[in-house]
């Protein structure tokens, strides 16, 4: 192995869980679960193929309530009946040597009406995500509290299914972000208004998840939180809003924060600075909580830059781990020149990509290079 890449292979302990290296598989929706929310064999095969090299696998998001299903073919953690299916996936990941992290999620206003009971799309307030989109029904106070409990119940199921941790999905415009955003949250009760009140729902979820871990976990269990740093809308989440949230989350003794970015080098749109968003977030976390960086990490040089230039503790590979499941092994064996950075239309079976995900890839020009 090239000695320059040694930092990628240093172990790290998150929440008392020993992770073998500094590279994670990023959470990516694969559209391939059964209609009832159970995991398919194609998904199990897909994750098996990608779990040998990385230190941990963060799964695609699993919805915590039936009215939180955001995608066709999304797997579920909303009911105890899901536990055997989820257990199979966790064991598959772990058997290949990676830690298994279940991402838990509610889509809020981003849920297609056809996927939720009675087409009842909900959010913090009656604000559509974009022009022409469905206007969601504002959640009542007791419903907000019920969803907080649902995140806790999802965590209990993840523990019973044998996962090494959960990642709370507070990014990409879904329900938790909808409560944090001044665009989608126009409430005047305890769940909205000021910046501090807009943090109430995210923090309530964090507190409930951690409470459940204390109650049910019999061994160390990771709790992470993913977020998007800015929104393009005005009003919307600004970089300063996010830095305030990071400061609060860092005080919650979470095991990691995971920044959702298209490019780890990207600069803030709402703040004048020469530093990248990831650098600012790592500085705000101030050694209180490890930060995972993601976005446009294709080569081992990119990964090293993301670690060393920003101070991130772990890097996550998304599209790259789909294009080359052997990315880690090739770096470790000094074969980085062999890393695949494009897809060809005949690659699906070789890469063990489920057909529904593959159809999304080939029908979305520019999403993956080469297709």
Catalytic site residues? 174
| Burial classification of residue 53, based on how many CB atoms lie within 10 Å of its CB (0-12 exposed, 13-18 middle, 19 or more buried) | buried
Whole-number Å distance between alpha carbons of 367 and 350: 19
What per-residue string of b and e applies to 5-34 under the rule 16 or more CB within 10 Å gives b?
Answer: beebeeebebbebebbbbbbbbbbbbbbbe
> In angstroms, what CA-CA distances link 302 with 250, 293, 310, 320?
26, 11, 12, 12
CB 303 within 8 A of CB 297: yes
Whole-number Å distance between alpha carbons of 323 and 343: 6
User: What is the distance, to the nearest Å, from the Cα of residue 147 to the centroid of all Cα atoms in its chain?
Assistant: 18
CB 255 within 8 A of CB 14: yes
Q: What is the DSSP letter of 82?
A: G
Token output for 308:
């060393």
Q: Token match 């064999």: residue? A: 41
């Amino acid at each position: 192995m090239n000695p320059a890449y040694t930092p990628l292979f240093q172990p790290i302990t998150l929440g008392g869980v020993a992770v073998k290296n500094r590279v994670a598989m990023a959470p990516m929706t694969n559209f391939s679960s059964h209609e009832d929310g159970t995991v398919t064999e194609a998904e199990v095969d897909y994750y098996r193929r990608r779990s040998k090299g990385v230190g941990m696998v963060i799964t695609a998001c699993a919805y915590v309530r039936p009215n939180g299903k955001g995608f066709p073919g999304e797997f579920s953690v909303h009911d105890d009946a899901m536990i055997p299916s989820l257990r199979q996936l966790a064991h598959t990941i772990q058997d290949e040597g990676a830690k298994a992290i279940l991402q838990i999620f509610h889509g809020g206003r981003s849920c297609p009406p056809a996927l939720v009971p009675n087409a009842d799309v909900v959010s913090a307030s009656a604000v559509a995500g974009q022009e022409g989109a469905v206007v969601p029904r504002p959640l009542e106070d007791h419903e907000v509290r019920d969803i907080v409990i649902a995140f806790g119940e999802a965590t209990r199921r993840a523990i019973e299914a044998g996962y090494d941790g959960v990642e709370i999905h507070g990014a990409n415009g879904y329900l938790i972000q909808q409560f944090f955003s001044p665009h989608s949250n126009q409430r005047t009760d305890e769940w909205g208004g000021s910046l501090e009140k807009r943090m109430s729902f995210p923090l309530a979820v964090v507190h409930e998840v951690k409470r459940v871990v204390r109650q049910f976990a019999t061994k160390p269990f990771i709790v992470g939180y993913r977020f998007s740093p800015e929104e393009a809308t005005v009003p919307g989440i600004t970089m300063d809003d996010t830095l305030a949230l990071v400061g609060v989350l860092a005080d919650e003794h979470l095991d990691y924060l995971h920044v959702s970015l298209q490019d780890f080098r990207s600069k803030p749109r709402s703040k004048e600075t020469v530093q990248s968003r990831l650098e600012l977030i790592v500085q705000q976390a101030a050694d209180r909580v490890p930060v995972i960086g993601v976005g446009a990490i294709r080569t081992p040089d990119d990964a090293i830059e993301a670690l060393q230039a920003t101070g991130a503790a772990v890097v996550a590979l998304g599209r790259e781990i789909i294009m080359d499941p052997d990315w880690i092994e090739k770096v470790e064996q000094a074969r980085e020149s062999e890393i695949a950075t494009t897809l060809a239309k005949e690659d699906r079976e070789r890469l063990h990509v489920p057909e529904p995900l593959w159809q999304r890839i080939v029908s979305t020009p520019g999403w993956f290079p080469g297709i």
